[in-house]
């Protein structure tokens, strides 16, 4: 139900996520990387490029501090944002690279979101990323994210 709300009603998903963040603070439960990632995905799904970029930067710093790459998360979140902003080709490119990696993101909860996104963008079997190394595509996605955030500010 959470994933369906995420895709079908971004405003409701954002409100639910905000309530979850408040509950974490009230209960003094750590706001884990998994919940941070979901919050960033919700921001991306709402088309909020500046909030997505800011939160992604924070999460990537935490990932690096903990020895985690975070590249898959970048690709998935930027694919969501591109899709919401109407750039289906970019969404397909980054999502295809995410899928081509054959890895799971650091948060299994986000896997359900990726399945719904796959259906929404009608990803074809053809991999539009070609033979570029994953790190190059992640760098490209981050660059586009920061450009989109600057344009929205």
Ordered DSSP codes for 4-66? HHHHH-HHHHHHHHHHHHHHHHHHT----HHHHHHHHHHHHHTT-HHHHHHHHHHHHHHHHHT
pLDDT at position 81 is 92
The model's pTM is: 0.76
The C-alpha angle with vertex 38 and arms to 4 and 152, in degrees rounded to 5, equals: 95
pLDDT at position 18 is 78
pLDDT at position 96 is 85
Q: How does pLDDT run across 63-93, given as a tens digit for each residue?
A: 899 898 889 889 989 998 999 999 988 988 8
Where the chain has pLDDT below 50, the residues are 125-126
Instruction: Please list, in sequence order, all residues whose beta carbon lies within 8 angstroms of the beta carbon of residue 44, skipping any fewer than 6 positions away.
Output: 52, 77, 78, 80, 81, 84
pLDDT at position 16 is 77
Query: How many C-beta atoms lie closer than 10 Å to residue 92's C-beta?
Result: 22
């Amino acid at each position: 139900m959470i994933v369906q709300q995420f895709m079908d009603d971004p405003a409701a998903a954002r409100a639910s996520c905000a309530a979850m963040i408040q509950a974490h603070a009230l209960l003094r439960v750590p706001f884990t990387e998994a919940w941070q990632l979901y919050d960033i995905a919700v921001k991306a799904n709402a088309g909020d490029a500046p909030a997505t970029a800011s939160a992604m930067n924070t999460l990537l710093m935490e990932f690096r501090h903990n020895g985690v790459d975070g590249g898959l998360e970048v690709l998935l979140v930027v694919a969501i944002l591109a899709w919401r902003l109407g750039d289906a080709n970019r969404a397909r490119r980054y999502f295809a690279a995410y899928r081509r990696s054959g890895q799971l993101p650091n948060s299994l909860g986000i896997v359900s979101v990726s399945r719904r996104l796959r259906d929404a963008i009608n990803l074809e079997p053809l991999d539009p990323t070609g033979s570029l190394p994953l790190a190059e595509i992640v760098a490209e996605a981050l660059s586009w994210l920061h450009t989109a955030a600057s344009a929205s500010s």
